[in-house]
Structure 1
Amino acid sequence: MYKQRVVIKVGTNVMTNKDNRIVKPVLDHLVQQIAELYEQDIMSILVSSGSVIAGMEVMGDSKITDKGTRRQVYSAIGQPRMMRHYYNIFQDYGMKCAQVLATKRDFNPGNHRENMINCYEGLLSEGVVPIANEDDAVTLTDSMFSDNDELASLVAELTKADKLIILTDTDGLFTGHPDDEDTEVIENVTVDQNVEKYIKTIKKGEAEGRGGMGSKLNIAKMTANKNIPTYIANGKRKNVILDIIEGKNVGTKITV
């Protein structure tokens, strides 16, 4: 039996550079940390963005004018490319991974939910790292998650995870704009604390992820309310996952 289960969500902005290209060394370091956790009998479930960007790398500019359809096409092309990246890297560390795609409806009570539970439990029992993502190729409107943070929260609840780690491109929740000199990271937040006032809106490009800090905080509080401590931290920081598991003050921790 494994000591812990941890869900790790990695966002698009963590794994891409300013030119919206996948940065493979970032993925490699992510898997390296997951492999180290595995050696400590800690099993990881990875919720990974990146399929749309990966599809754009293959296709380049698309002639499809409808934004939703364009996203579906990019994702359908990019999913196998992302999994090939992960498959090869996990193989380098002597590990196996598997893809688990889902829509929001799959988490509703019923056969789909039970089938997902069985799938996750089967993979984890065999030491295989599940890699979850939204099934962008078939999801639109009501079947879409607000973002992959919501998917990660639902997966954490579904698998009875001990922790949820949301990796983004900032060091956590700040007392002001991250670029301001006098701003500081808020290390600990409880679900009843009003820290929403600190969130600053930063516009993002169309190719990037949907979830901003406001969404992350909302999802983190919702997850923490289910007795799953949740962390928001910088995924580009060296050994960020290992440091969180070791109890170091990294990023923002949200608890009940």
Structure 2
Amino acid sequence: MHKYKKRIVVKIGTSVMTNRDNRIMQPALNKLVDQVAELYEEDIMTVLVSSGSVNAGREILGDSVIEDKSQRRQVYSAIGQPRLMRHYYTLFQNYGMRCAQVLATKRDFNPGEHRTNMINCYEGLMAEGVIPIANEDDAVSVSHSMFSDNDELASLIAELIHADMLIILTDIDGFYTGHPADEGSELISEIKVDQQVEQYVAKTNKGETSGRGGMKSKLKVAKNTAAKGIPTYIANGKKDRVILDIIAGKPVGTKVTV
């Protein structure tokens, strides 16, 4: 079984891959795949946790006649997942690389047969040099089987595969001492798991309008993940080479660590 120099998990937020009309931007995905391909050449395996299936489904179906929000989300996701994966499949194929879709619900991470199957799936894909692309199985995931958001899913996967780091990409540079647009507001470059910075979250939070996870969620997930020995970064996924810069140790985003 291939032993990579590093294993990393990268969560791509909805706001990173969509424009103001909530339509998926192929060039944005292209930049991200470029970086994953470059890391692969350096013997670093990336597991992607990708939002966007609901938006992709909405692009195809348009306005839905379904009134129930949960059911509407299920339908959009079921339609959108193949479209989203087609984007990724085409982009990775340009590099002669292969990718695979791995859908999960929260119960799949519970101790027992489901968790063992998840581990075997990820280990098998990585051994074959295939890039796993994970997402919540929105088509069947409701109520108690739902993740709070894809940040939580990314954290659970990072723990599952013993990742060397987790990178959460959103549309702002990280946590600030105030709202990012305010004069005098500064980026917090590093946060310790026992450091109280929650007072900044409400000021920093812009929210991902078409996603479920905001900055409060990201801080909680980042601290929980870092406490398990996996350094976690929150950074701006719209910046060029942001993943590569983090791997290179450049001062990018907010690092959360023990």
| Aligned residue in 1 for 2:50 | 48
Q: TM-score, normalised by structure 2?
A: 0.97
Alignment gaps of 5+ in structure 1 = none
State the one-letter code of the partner of 1:91. Q
| Aligned residue in 1 for 2:169 | 167
After TM superposition, list the pairs within 5 Å mapping 1:227-238 onto structure 2.
Answer: 227-238=229-240
Q: TM-score, normalised by structure 1?
A: 0.98
| Aligned residue in 2 for 1:245 | 247
User: 1:10-47: CA deviations, max 9, x gaps?
Assistant: 00010000011001101000000000000110000000
Taking the aligned partners of 2:197 and 2:53, their CA distance within structure 1 comes to 32
4+ residue runs over 6 A deviation: none
Superposition deviation, residue 160 in structure 1: 0.4
What is the RMSD of the two structures over their aligned residues, measured on CA atoms?
0.8
| Aligned equivalent of 1:254, options 249, 253, 256 | 256
Identity %: 70
Taking the aligned partners of 2:126 and 2:28, their CA distance within structure 1 comes to 24
| Aligned equivalent of 1:124, options 98, 123, 126 | 126
User: 1:187-230: CA deviations, max 9, x gaps?
Assistant: 0000000011111244654xx11000000000000000000000
Cα 1:64/1:155, change in 2 over 3 Å: same
Task: Determine helix, strand or coil for the equivalent of 1:199.
Answer: helix
Cα 1:73/1:152, change in 2 over 3 Å: same
| Aligned residue in 1 for 2:156 | 154
> Are 1:186 and 2:182 counterparts?
no
> Are 1:222 and 2:224 counterparts?
yes
Alignment gaps of 5+ in structure 2 = none
State the one-letter code of the partner of 2:249. G
Superposition deviation, residue 53 in structure 1: 0.1
* 2:8/2:163 contact within 8 Å kept: yes
